Amino acid sequence: MLLLLGAALGYAGLTDLYLRYVKAGLQPLLLVAGGVLIVAAVATIWFERRRPRAAGEGAEQEHREHEHHEHEHREPRIAWLLVLPLLALIFVAPPPPGSYAAMRDGTALQQPWDLSALPADDPVPLGLVDYAGRAAYDHGRSLGDRRITTSGFISLDESGAPYLVRMVLNCCAADARPVKVGLTGRIPPILQPDTWYEITGVHTDRQAADPINNGVIPYIDVMEARPVPAPDDQYDSAS
């Protein structure tokens, strides 16, 4: 079991699978944990095989009695069903939470620590959480009238109003919470929930209060919107 669990952690850490469970920065720790489990499993097998064998009739008889005693107390075969969660880890990885979860949880937007000057690109590529923090807590001063390009998945509230959302992590997928940005301006007429979009637009002073936790939801004035494939890492890190 140790060997299988270590191999599963190693496989997840060496592929994009681990991004379904933890944030990207924890990949080294995940690989180290998998390596430790594999080493522990190999060491256990090695020590078991090095047990000295008894010699002579008396020793052989004692050995047979000992084996019989061990056989009587051997773990039930049903214990191998513990392998199933490991197989599920590899073959049935859960999808990241989407619009259903996002619209049933309050925004996790927090005041940003870094409000450094934007690069000279036009439009400026900016993470959704970064844009939302600057728009909500810096009142757009660091954004000015610059064109911004950001991305996220679409969520619709009960009235059908669209939001661009990214789920943020403190540690793992179990604590994922949404950061929402409202859309105004040239919004596509038909938006499907959970569809990923790249939005190019400019800051607007418009804001709203999240009805769930009264958190700030900033808006972006959309100039262009195009659907894009979902990224490998669909989470962002909490500020």
Do residues 128 and 76 share a domain? no
Asked which of 91, 124, 152 is the last residue of a domain, the reply is: 91
Q: Which residue has the tokens 């069903």?
A: 81
Per-residue pLDDT, 55: 43
Do residues 115 and 186 share a domain? yes
Do residues 58 and 140 share a domain? no
Do residues 11 and 105 share a domain? no
Q: pLDDT for 165-188, tens place per residue?
A: 999 887 776 778 999 999 999 999
Q: Mutual orientation of helices 83-91 and 2-14 as an angle, nearest 10°? A: 10
Q: Residue 163: how many CB atoms within 10 A of its CB?
A: 26
Per-residue pLDDT, 124: 93
Asked which of 91, 120, 153 is the last residue of a domain, the reply is: 91
Give CA separation, 234 vs 41, 53, 100, 138, 220, in Å. 34, 55, 15, 26, 20
Per-residue pLDDT, 12: 75
140: left (phi over 0), alpha (psi -120 to 50) or beta: left
Asked which of 91, 114, 130 is the last residue of a domain, the reply is: 91
Q: How confident is the model at residue 38 (pLDDT cuts 50, 70, 90)?
A: confident
Q: pLDDT for 124-164, tens place per residue?
A: 999 999 999 999 998 888 998 999 999 999 999 988 999 99
CATH number (domain holding residue 116): 2.40.50
Q: How confident is the model at residue 54 (pLDDT cuts 50, 70, 90)?
A: very low
Do residues 86 and 103 share a domain? no
Do residues 148 and 208 share a domain? yes
Distance, CA of 230 to CA of 232 (rounded, Å): 7
pLDDT at position 39 over 80? yes
pTM: 0.71
Do residues 150 and 81 share a domain? no
Contact yes or no for 100/166 (Cβ under 8 A): no
Mean pLDDT of 45-59: 63
Domain that holds residue 207: 99-237
Do residues 135 and 71 share a domain? no
Q: Mean pLDDT, the chain, as a whole number? A: 82
- Report the range of poorest mean pLDDT among 85-99, 180-194, 223-237: 85-99
Do residues 49 and 124 share a domain? no
Which is more confidently placed, 69 or 166?
A: 166
Do residues 128 and 214 share a domain? yes
Mean pLDDT of 43-49: 82
Do residues 37 and 132 share a domain? no
- Percentages of the chain per state (helix, strand, coil), in multiples of 5: 40, 25, 35
What dihedral angle (degrees, nearest 10) is formed by the CA atoms of 16, 18, 19, 25?
-110
* Total count of domains within the chain: 2
Per-residue pLDDT, 58: 47
Mean pLDDT of 180-208: 94
Do residues 126 and 33 share a domain? no
